Chains A and B, each alone.
Chain A
């Protein structure tokens, strides 16, 4: 009987640790994000989210997403200026901006994949593979596509971030890198 109690105690401890490690937020709490006011001396970056490539491939678009009719003219977030906090990465800005503007966003945490960086699965209900099997989200900073994940890219003052949706492995947005298929 003593052994049983010990085991039960251990399981309870495990569950407690698990619950302690999860962060549960209500919907209002999640969207209640503070974007700093822009001061004269504050460092800022610009963020745009667009998916206009979908409009060229509308026949491939997932029926469920098409029914939502949320693509519009292909611009989800039109060039907004955000204050850069110290150590902010591309992912931090995206996370803050989507929360602030109540745009749906799903990501895969950096510990959940083998790349060790956050992967953006979907923005505004537009997911990877939602528009053909070569589709997904990519990002560029100052017109260039970095070759690593968005939570590794540390920003500096004046950076221009654009999240684009590709329907063809990046070829249609100019971010195709040869050998990407092998990675």
Chain B
């Protein structure tokens, strides 16, 4: 299915931006494992509704080693905690530090998934629509930076294919393969520096950022956009109250605190669940509707 056929994609950029900003920012500054679990599961659910499961599994091959790396690095550098497991060069490797590392890993993976969804839904067109007038230079730079990785990937393929056509890189050695990849990478860097200048010059030639210049866009503000913003802001208020008043406070050092499970904290968790699962829910609802209509034909 095309990206354009996603229901979340048809919302107004303003609502989408507020939604993603709050989802990513809240996830980023969370330590509480319950909140992070909600964030990562909802992130995975949303990614799965946007892309197919094969890409998801393929990316997992990079993400799991990354996760393990983060989880292992923390106990090597952080020795606080009341439960030492063993001692490394005179400093303790503690259970608390290991669990904190796992927690951080979940947080970073959660943010990665949410950023992935963001880059699929809020493309550069939407971003420039929102910020092109107010901060033209920064929004151009940001939109270029955000689509940098996919463009980079595509260009990498192109360069390496072209060089293979010349007969380069016919080798079995893994070491040589890595070295060749580095060579292509250096081409890529040069290319990206040049193309970014090209882009900005082209945009300038088209009069981007000049006064009185209008944009074509197809965005309309509907009642449902207002609804999305209202729900997002309301849930934000609940969650931030929870953060501000220590209701969902959680500490790893020096001793792991008990997870709060009273009525207030459950209310905050509930609000966060509603906030984070909203897009996945909308997508699934839309899919079911689509199937239902197809069957009726």
Q: Chain A interface (Cβ within 8 Å of chain B)?
A: 1, 3-4, 7, 22-27, 29-30, 63-65, 67-68, 95, 104, 106-107, 109, 121-122, 125, 127
Q: B174 and A4: CB pair below 8 A?
A: yes
Which residues of chain B are near A23, meaning CB under 8 Å? 87-90
B85 to chain A, nearest CB (A): 7
A175 to chain B, nearest CB (A): 24
- Which residues of B230-263 are within 8 A (CB) of A? 249, 251, 253-255, 257
Q: A1 and B172: CB pair below 8 A?
A: yes
Known: A1-B172, A1-B173, A106-B92. 4 other contacts (CB 8 A): A27-B84, A27-B87, A104-B84, A109-B90
A7–B82 Cα gap in the complex (Å)? 41
A106 to chain B, nearest CB (A): 5
Is B79 positioned at the interface, with any CB of A under 8 Å from its CB? yes
Q: B255 and A64: CB pair below 8 A?
A: yes
When A and B form their complex, what is the total count of cross-chain residue pairs whose Cβ atoms lie within 8 Å? 65
A27–B172 Cα gap in the complex (Å)? 47
B94 to chain A, nearest CB (A): 9
> Which residue from B80, B173, B249, B251 sits with its C-beta under 8 Å from A106?
B80
Is B10 positioned at the interface, with any CB of A under 8 Å from its CB? no
- Which residues of B101-125 are within 8 A (CB) of A? none
Q: Can you sample 27 A-B contacts with CB below 8 Å? A: A1-B172, A3-B173, A7-B175, A23-B87, A23-B88, A24-B87, A25-B86, A26-B86, A27-B84, A27-B85, A29-B87, A30-B84, A30-B90, A64-B254, A64-B255, A65-B254, A67-B251, A68-B255, A104-B92, A104-B254, A106-B79, A106-B91, A107-B91, A109-B89, A109-B90, A122-B80, A125-B254
A136 to chain B, nearest CB (A): 14
Q: Which 3 A-B pairs have the closest CB atoms?
A: A125-B254, A25-B87, A30-B87
Q: A4 and B87: CB pair below 8 A?
A: no
Q: A64 and B89: CB pair below 8 A?
A: no
Is B176 positioned at the interface, with any CB of A under 8 Å from its CB? yes
Q: In which size bucket is the chain B interface?
A: 20 to 34
Which residues of chain B are near A63, meaning CB under 8 Å? 249, 251
Q: B87 and A67: CB pair below 8 A?
A: no
B245 to chain A, nearest CB (A): 14
Which residues of chain B are near A64, meaning CB under 8 Å? 251, 253-255, 257
A59 to chain B, nearest CB (A): 15
Which residues of chain B are near A3, meaning CB under 8 Å? 173, 175-176
- Nearest-CB residue, chain A, relative to B171: A3
Q: Mark B144-177, 1 if CB is under 8 A from A, else 0.
A: 0000000000000000000000000000111110
Q: B174 and A22: CB pair below 8 A?
A: no
- Which residues of B201-228 are within 8 A (CB) of A? none
Which residues of chain B are near A22, meaning CB under 8 Å? 88-89
A35 to chain B, nearest CB (A): 17
A75–B92 Cα gap in the complex (Å)? 23
Q: B86 and A68: CB pair below 8 A?
A: no
Which among A104, A122, A127 has the greatest number of chain B C-beta atoms within 10 A? A104
Which residues of chain B are near A68, meaning CB under 8 Å? 82, 254-255
Say yes or no: A107-B255 contact (C-beta < 8 A), given A1-B172, A7-B175, A125-B82: no
